[in-house]
Amino acid sequence: SVNPTYKHMFQKPELHHSFWRDLWQDHSSNMVKALPKGLLVSIRDLCNEGSFYRALHVVDHHVHHINNHHTHNGFQVLFYALIRACKSKKHLIAVSQLISKSGLEDHAYLGSHLIRKFASFRSLYEANRVFHMVSNPNKFTWAAIILANANLGDGNKALELYHEMQRCSNVK
């Protein structure tokens, strides 16, 4: 049973139009500006139409045809959007594989979101797998994996992870 205090973190989020609006209209974000014009809107439209795998294919195409650091950072926004759009563990595994293929598998920001989403699908194995791929977990990544283990029934592992986090001097 999920602790009611953290229940909102483990519910399957619905695809809210305000989420997409806020994401693609955030013109102050350099990450969004770095994306090819209209790409985030196209991904949003495909996901809203139920064409998740088509959206995944579009992101895959762009990630591998545009390879500069500034734009690569912008793809974090697309991956985040895809993570939020996942309606099944199968979708999330596909996004996780694309993130790995894109060289962002050790990114703490994406790792935190993947861990929370895998936990929402009750997949502790996948959540732990993602955590171990993150090279420098931040406080959000640690919190996500500790909560995932605690809420999905492995309190001993959660406590072990908490103590491990306290021993790490680089947690920010």
CA gap 169, 172 in Å, rounded = 9
For all residues of the chain together, what is the average pLDDT?
Answer: 78
Q: Which of 4-8, 18-22, 53-57 has the lowest mean pLDDT?
A: 4-8
CA gap 45, 103 in Å, rounded = 26
pLDDT in tens, 59-90: 888 877 765 554 556 678 888 888 988 899 99
pLDDT at residue 41 in the model? 78
Which of 8-12, 62-66, 154-158 has the largest mean confidence?
Answer: 154-158
Would you list the DSSP string of 7-39?
A: HHHHS-----HHHHHHHHT-TT-HHHHTSPTTH
CA gap 63, 27 in Å, rounded = 21
Reference 84, options 37, 52, 36; nearest CA is 52
CA gap 79, 85 in Å, rounded = 10
